[in-house]
Amino acid sequence: MMKSKLLHKALLALVCGVMFAGCSGAPVKETEQRSSFKIMYTNESYFFRQYGDLFLLQHPNIDIELVGTNGINAGENQDRNEALVDFIEKEQPDVVILSMENYQKFVAEGKLLELDTLIERDKYDIESIYPALIEIIKEKGDGKLYGLAPSFYGNALFYNADLFAKYGIEVPHDGMTWQEIVDTARRFPTDGDETTRIYGFGSDYGVSMLDLAWSIANTHGLKYINTDTMKITLNTESWKQAFKLAKDAEDSGALYNPKDGGFQGGTMEEYYQSQAFVMGRMAMTVNGSYLLSNIKEAKNALKNYNSFQVGVVTGPVDPADPDKSRDIYINELFAIRANSPNSDAAWEFLKFVNGEQFAKVKSRSLNNGLLSRMGISKEYDGVNLDVFYTLKPNLDGTSSMDSNKIPGDFLSQYQPIVDRELKLVEEKKKTIEEALQTIEQEGQAVLNKAVKDEAANKNGKQDDGSEEGEDTGDNTE
């Protein structure tokens, strides 16, 4: 393992001048003490390509040992988060990569090193890091920083400015609500063949009534399960309005939702042809910044590609809180394990991958999300990226669910109920109100049983397989 890291250094030194303009960092003295740190990551080759190689160029006296996390397997009656904790306890990595949910739990349990004192000691600049991310990380860390994220994902409303001009429709504006998006989508023509016509709104692979309803609900901070009470919460006025708006959009014919389910395999040309927005046949879509990469790739791959002017605005937003977004996600949060014996080396790594120099190298691509370090990547293929840094995060917590509390086999039993009832709505055999009432009632019964079964299995495991007499599911009734 260590030999491969040294080989990385030797090879990368040859291209140092190209990547970092002569490696302008301070030269390392031969007498400088060597150090190392251990990091957990899913894939070794991807880690070094994305992070490790660049770090080693600037820090040749720091060695990296990587422990792969692909082998984390939850045992019987153990969820993946418990398995993650066991893995970290066993391997003792200095740098841990966490989801936001796990980050919050690790902070609460005192398992992470506070970074505020290190930031102040080294006068490390966090002012040019997207304030929304710092706010999110601090909010989940009880007001302190225990981790940093080099990148994030955020959605925006993309539109085809040429189609809006062609049909004389006013282009979208910042802060569009779902009602405004659907109303605008319905103004576009719906005639023509499925493979050649124009669509007012859609997504890469099509958007169904259920897909759109979930998107609307997410924007409005709705949740279908209250994981504090373990109650299904679909039969509410807010959920009814979300489904009614989605049903209106579907009935209007404005949604791109191919009957065959979209691209199922084939050539790259066939893949691009299935992407209605990329090919200029969709007026609007909600997507991440990587959509711009897809468009650029299509331009280069297709001989007769018809380019169009892409516009991007903030949204969709909750009309009750139009300056905020629930569509800001952190995929990889880097933190240092509490009591790490190699915290100094680990901190050097966190500083680097969240720093300006690293951001400049990574600014050429959007495939790994948006840079947390602002001011480095202002535009991509002629499209301004400021829109992704405009809204503040919505931290009211109304849309959060503790998915760890939901039994693993619940969804496989719940989804058929949802599919059956919504099909009856589409066939006009049930109203949305009737369908949601049935989904909530039958879904609650399935959830109650799943919770009780999971508790019984855990208790049985603890008692060497004996049945537990106590009813552990009373709180779900």
- How deeply is 30 buried, as exposed, middle or buried, from its count of CB atoms within 10 A (0-12, 13-18, 19+)? exposed
Report the pLDDT value the prediction gives residue 22, as an integer from 0 to 100. 41
Q: Which of 17-21, 46-50, 439-443 has the lowest mean pLDDT?
A: 17-21
Task: Please state the rounded mean pLDDT for residues 328-338.
Answer: 93
Quick check: 399 pLDDT over 50?
no
Whole-number Å distance between alpha carbons of 68 and 286: 34
Torsion of CA 280, 178, 326, 291, to 10 degrees: 0
Quick check: 105 pLDDT over 70?
yes
357 pLDDT band, cuts 50/70/90, is very high
Q: Which of 14-23, 60-69, 142-151 has the lowest mean pLDDT?
A: 14-23
27 pLDDT band, cuts 50/70/90, is very low
Report the pLDDT value the prediction gives residue 288, as an integer from 0 to 100. 94
Whose CA is closest to 207, among 309, 310, 286? 286
Whose CA is closest to 50, among 328, 331, 341? 331
Question: Domain segments of the chain: what residues?
Answer: 2-25+33-150+332-375, 155-325, 407-459
CATH level 3 topology of 2-25+33-150+332-375: D-Maltodextrin-Binding Protein; domain 2 (3.40.190)
Question: How many Cβ atoms are within 10 Å of 304's Cβ, its own excluded?
Answer: 4
79 in Cβ contact with 109 (< 8 Å): no
Task: Please state the rounded mean pLDDT for residues 361-390.
Answer: 89
Quick check: 5 pLDDT over 60?
no
- What is the β-pairing status of strands 225-226 and 199-202? unpaired
Report the pLDDT value the prediction gives residue 83, as an integer from 0 to 100. 85
Whose CA is closest to 33, among 15, 13, 60, 7? 60
Q: Where are the beta strands (DSSP E) in 18-149?
A: 35-41, 62-68, 95-98, 147-148
**Which residues lie closer than 8 Å to 103 by C-beta, 6 or more apart?**
112, 137, 140, 141, 146, 147, 333, 335
Are 2-25+33-150+332-375 and 155-325 in the same CATH fold?
Answer: yes
Whole-number Å distance between alpha carbons of 253 and 32: 68
Higher pLDDT, 216 or 397: 216
Task: Please state the rounded mean pLDDT for residues 218-226.
Answer: 94
308 in Cβ contact with 159 (< 8 Å): no
Task: Please state the rounded mean pLDDT for residues 94-99.
Answer: 95
Task: Please state the rounded mean pLDDT for residues 47-68.
Answer: 95
Q: Which of 168-172, 239-243, 321-325, 375-379 has the lowest mean pLDDT?
A: 375-379
Q: Which amino acid is at 208?
A: S
Task: Please state the rounded mean pLDDT for residues 279-296.
Answer: 95
Q: Which amino acid is at 230?
A: M
Report the pLDDT value the prediction gives residue 320, as an integer from 0 to 100. 93
Q: Which of 280-284, 363-367, 469-473 has the lowest mean pLDDT?
A: 469-473
Torsion of CA 260, 264, 270, 271, to 10 degrees: 110
What value does the mean pLDDT of the chain take? 87
Q: Which amino acid is at 3?
A: K
79 pLDDT band, cuts 50/70/90, is low
Task: Please state the rounded mean pLDDT for residues 421-444.
Answer: 96
- What is the β-pairing status of strands 328-329 and 151-160? antiparallel
Whole-number Å distance between alpha carbons of 280 and 166: 12
Quick check: 338 pLDDT over 70?
yes
Report the pLDDT value the prediction gives residue 53, as an integer from 0 to 100. 95
- Please tell me what DSSP assigns to residue 51: I
Report the pLDDT value the prediction gives residue 74, as an integer from 0 to 100. 54
16 pLDDT band, cuts 50/70/90, is very low
Percent of the chain past pLDDT 70, that is, above it, reads 86
What ranges in 154-307 are assigned the alpha helix state H? 161-166, 178-185, 209-219, 237-252, 268-273, 290-301
Quick check: 464 pLDDT over 60?
no
76 pLDDT band, cuts 50/70/90, is low
317 in Cβ contact with 175 (< 8 Å): yes
The fourth-level CATH superfamily of domain 155-325 is Periplasmic binding protein-like II (3.40.190.10)
Q: Residue 111 has which token pair?
A: 């398992």
Quick check: 321 pLDDT over 60?
yes
Whole-number Å distance between alpha carbons of 43 and 64: 14
5 in Cβ contact with 59 (< 8 Å): no
Task: Please state the rounded mean pLDDT for residues 222-245.
Answer: 94
Task: Please state the rounded mean pLDDT for residues 376-401.
Answer: 81
Higher pLDDT, 229 or 396: 229
**Dihedrals phi, psi of 159, to nearest 5 degrees:** -145, 155
Please provide the DSSP assignment of 287-327 as one string: EETHHHHHHHHHHHH-TT-----EEEE-----TTSTTEES-
Q: Which helix (H) or strand (E) holds 328?
A: strand 328-329
Quick check: 405 pLDDT over 90?
no
